[in-house]
Amino acid sequence: MTEKEINYTQTELLATVAGRLLEDKKSVFVGTGLPMIATMFAQRTHAPKLLIFFEAGSMGPQVPVLPISVGDSRTFYKAIAASSMHDSMSLTQAGYMDYGFLGAAQIDIYGNINTTVIGSYENFKVRLPGSGGANDVGSLCQKTIIIMRQDKLRFVEKVDFITTPGYLSGKGAREEAGLPEGGGPYRIITQLGVYGFDDETKKMKLLFLHPGVNLEKVKENSSFDIIIPDKIKFTTPPTEKERKILHEIDPTGMAIGK
Amino acid sequence: MEVLQEGKGELIGWHDPDENRKWILENKDRDLKDKRTTVKEAVEKYVKDGSFIAFGGFGHVRVSMAVIYEIIRQKKRNLIFAGKTAVHDSDLLIASGCVNKIEVAYAFAHELRGLSPASRRLVEEGKCEVIAEISNAGYQWRFLAAMMGVPFIPTRNLLGTDTLKQSSAKVVKDPFSKKPICLVPACYPDVVVMHVPRCDMYGNAQIDGIIIEDFELSRAGRRVIMTTEKIIDNDEIREKPWLTVIPFFLVDAVIEVPYGSHPCNMPYKYYFDEEHIGEWLEMSRTPEGVNKYFEKYVYSVEKFEDYLELIGGQKKLKYLEDVEHLKAKLKAPWLERKRKK
């Protein structure tokens, strides 16, 4: 596909691909920004019965426009309950959350995420926000989806700080640490493609490339060796109708752009 | 119980449960009495230099900005901040030099708006120290342990991560499941500051929409300052007692401050003032800008009503109400800068 044929933005593609991963009649715990757009997109297209949770206490809302905060009034618009963080987090810990949806500054081959510091903890170069609800989502949801930009500084051999657990040091490590059984990162969506994890090693593997992206690009933009399957599949770009929905969700263009 | 791991973060706000019971028995008045006062007096009385302080709401949702401005005006120093989900609240208090220590679940950023220039600059320069890391659920459950009067709560988050290593939590072998489990310590802030849509003069408060962690936090805090959009009659509280989230005996001071959360979001009343927050984010890119902002909106302003005039008066407030009720379009000037980047 040539550049000219592409009539969608990278952000639109990411939001659409992420949204399509969510299943109808399942529950999802949503973070700020693109995860919100992807979730609202899913609810307005193939997953009308998607059960949306926000950490600050909203359950089952029909979010009208993109919220700025995971705790602002948009998050509990036409919700089935406006509850509390204790309730949201406890239900997640008890096993009610199928999907969790996060962003990340750095990720490693096992899907461990850093959003705390760049550099060593004691002598950091950059201070990032910290866990927020991310550690809770990564620890307690059944399947975690991560949306992030990919480059060599973000896909790293070792994250500077494990804010949020992926598979830690490999298969079985989460359970050994005491985390709930069977949870962990499920998909990573970047501007280049979609990744999953190898069942045996829990190392990251390529599942899909986005249209127009080749394997070289994937390798160039990672500091570790991603498992590459024999046959490569491609994601489907957003249709005009889908793009329109994305911009209805975020009319100001705060996360989806103009 | 076998201790498997101990976080090395500073344990802040913890008290032995018996010590805290004693404190409550001696200091928390059960008398149903008029607690109305002024923001100035409440801050003078309950916020001391060095206090460990926590804010209700969600960093920039239902936050008592009237109290935050007053703390800045009174130039309180060495405050320790509970960064449970700290956004605009901590950004201003760190930027003004009032807070120099923080326990972080989330801080130094403005969610969708991006990183906070001022507080991030100060933490990177070492002028604000992060004394421990934790997660949002972790902090929330610290308050839950406190309100229950127990020393800790077992949780299944944080495990296996550096967040735990830098937290004040511990990992033990659970005697029931025999699996490792995280224990987050109880947390009793010296002062908790809340903003609610309505309460009576005694402090019985109702909250519209999500209550976030205010249920637990109000019960964990030793002193509770409460600002409210409106003071209502006690009869109104008694008509629908199931709506009371915070009962009076937890509350030490009550102050009526309409629009007291501006420029934050007050659910069902007014949305974020993105133009004002954008102005702050822009000005706070330099220390000079920070001073100019505080000079303009805090130091030279005596009454909250005057502040409301400064930010655009009735016309602006009506617009923010319309945005909240989806009747007007959101204007977000900070977006242009983000786009250019």
Chain segment A40-49, per-residue pLDDT in tens: 999 999 999 9
Indicate the pLDDT class of residue A5, thresholds 50, 70 and 90.
low
User: With contacts defined as CB-CB under 8 Å, which chain B residues touch A83?
Assistant: 210-211
- Out of A73, A129, A254, closest to residue B112 by CB: A254
* 8 Å CB contact of B271 and A73: yes
Which tokens is A212 given?
């127009």
The rounded mean pLDDT for chain A is 96
Neighbours of B29 (CB within 10 A): 11
Indicate the pLDDT class of residue A3, thresholds 50, 70 and 90.
very low
- Out of B60, B107, B268, closest to residue A130 by CB: B107
Contact status of B1 with chain A (Cβ, < 8 Å): no
pLDDT of A2 above 60: no
Indicate the pLDDT class of residue B336, thresholds 50, 70 and 90.
confident
Contact status of A136 with chain B (Cβ, < 8 Å): yes
* Sign of the Cα pseudo-torsion (B262, B79, B134, A85, in order): negative
What residue type is assigned to position A146 of the chain?
A: I
Q: Tens digits of per-residue pLDDT, B140-151?
A: 999 999 999 999
B108 or B1, greater pLDDT: B108
Tell me the β-bridge partners of B83: B104
For residues B53 and B74, give the distance between their C-alpha atoms in angstroms, rounded to a whole number: 15
- Are B148 and B23 in contact, with CB atoms under 8 Å apart? no
Nearest Cα to Cα of residue B95 among B110, B112, B111: B110
Which tokens is B6 given?
């101990």
Indicate the pLDDT class of residue B118, thresholds 50, 70 and 90.
very high
- Are A39 and A101 in contact, with CB atoms under 8 Å apart? yes
For residues A166 and A107, give the distance between their C-alpha atoms in angstroms, rounded to a whole number: 9
ipTM over 0.90: yes
**Homologous superfamily, domain B17-134+188-340:** Glutaconate Coenzyme A-transferase (3.40.1080.10)
* 8 Å CB contact of B330 and A131: no
- Given this model, what pLDDT does residue A4 score? 46
Task: Read off the pTM.
Answer: 0.97
User: With contacts defined as CB-CB under 8 Å, which chain A residues touch B57?
Assistant: 71
Q: Tens digits of per-residue pLDDT, B239-278?
A: 999 999 999 999 999 999 999 999 999 999 999 999 999 9
Element (H, E) at B224: strand B223-231
For residues B298 and B295, give the distance between their C-alpha atoms in angstroms, rounded to a whole number: 6
DSSP annotation of B298:
I
Length of chain A: 258
Indicate the pLDDT class of residue A11, thresholds 50, 70 and 90.
very high
Q: Tens digits of per-residue pLDDT, A44-100?
A: 999 999 999 999 999 999 999 999 999 999 999 999 999 999 999 999 999 999 999
> Long-range contacts made by residues B291-299, C-beta under 8 angstroms, separation at least 24?
B294/B72, B294/B95, B294/B96, B297/B69, B298/B69, B298/B72, B298/B73, B298/B96, B299/B73
Contact status of B328 with chain A (Cβ, < 8 Å): no
User: With contacts defined as CB-CB under 8 Å, which chain B residues touch A116?
Assistant: 133, 162-163
Nearest Cα to Cα of residue B219 among B135, B144, B328: B144
- Within chain A, what is the greatest distance between any pair of CA atoms? 51
Contact status of A80 with chain B (Cβ, < 8 Å): no
Contact status of B94 with chain A (Cβ, < 8 Å): no
Nearest Cα to Cα of residue B90 among B125, B122, B59, B134: B59
Which tokens is B204 given?
């019985």
Mutate which: B157, B182, B281, vs A, most A CBs within 10 A: B157
Contact status of B167 with chain A (Cβ, < 8 Å): no
Nearest Cα to Cα of residue B184 among B7, B4, B1, B2: B7
pLDDT of B100 above 80: yes
Strand runs (DSSP E) across B7-75, as ranges? 52-55
* Whole-number percent of chain A with pLDDT over 70: 98
pLDDT of B101 above 50: yes
Backbone dihedral region of B209: left (phi > 0), alpha (psi from -120 to 50 degrees) or beta?
left
Chain B: residue nearest A169 by CA?
Answer: B160
Indicate the pLDDT class of residue B332, thresholds 50, 70 and 90.
confident
Prior bond of B197 cis (ω within 30°):
no
* Whole-number percent of chain B with pLDDT over 70: 100
Cα-flanking dihedrals φ and ψ of residue B304, to 5°?
A: -60, -30
For residues B96 and A65, give the distance between their C-alpha atoms in angstroms, rounded to a whole number: 33
- Given this model, what pLDDT does residue B341 score? 64
3-state secondary structure at position B89: helix
What residue type is assigned to position A166 of the chain?
A: G
Q: Counting beta carbons within 10 angstroms of the beta carbon of residue A125, is it exposed (0 to 12), middle (13 to 18) or buried (19 or more)?
A: exposed
Q: Where are the alpha helices (DSSP H) in A59-124?
A: 85-94
Indicate the pLDDT class of residue B335, thresholds 50, 70 and 90.
confident
Nearest Cα to Cα of residue A19 among A252, A181, A250, A258: A250
- Given this model, what pLDDT does residue B338 score? 73
Q: Which residues contact A206 (CB under 8 A, 6 or more apart)?
A: A193, A194, A195, A215, A218, A226, A227, A228, A229, A232
Indicate the pLDDT class of residue B339, thresholds 50, 70 and 90.
confident
DSSP annotation of B291:
H
Average pLDDT over residues B318-331: 96
For residues B26 and B245, give the distance between their C-alpha atoms in angstroms, rounded to a whole number: 24
User: With contacts defined as CB-CB under 8 Å, which chain A residues touch B209?
Assistant: 73, 76, 82
- Are A186 and A101 in contact, with CB atoms under 8 Å apart? no
What domains, with CATH codes, occur in chain A?
Answer: 3-249 (3.40.1080.10)
- SS3 per residue for A197-248: ECCCCCCEEEEEECCCCCHHHHHHCCCCCCECCCCCEECCCCCHHHHHHHHH
* Sign of the Cα pseudo-torsion (A28, A31, A32, A38, in order): negative
CA distances from A94 to A97, A113, B189 (A): 8, 23, 28
- Given this model, what pLDDT does residue B1 score? 81
- Within chain B, what is the greatest distance between any pair of CA atoms? 62
Please give the positions of A annotated as active site.
55
pLDDT of B305 above 50: yes
CA distances from A235 to A195, A238, B141 (A): 11, 9, 41
DSSP annotation of B13:
S
- Out of B58, B136, B162, closest to residue A136 by CB: B136
For residues B106 and B83, give the distance between their C-alpha atoms in angstroms, rounded to a whole number: 6
The rounded mean pLDDT for chain B is 97
User: With contacts defined as CB-CB under 8 Å, which chain A residues touch B155?
Assistant: 93
* 8 Å CB contact of B106 and A252: no
Cα-flanking dihedrals φ and ψ of residue A16, to 5°?
A: -70, -50
DSSP annotation of B212:
B
Q: Where are the domains of chain B?
A: 17-134+188-340
pLDDT of B78 above 70: yes
Average pLDDT over residues B80-91: 97
- Given this model, what pLDDT does residue B331 score? 86
How many A/B residue pairs have CB atoms within 8 Å?
Answer: 207
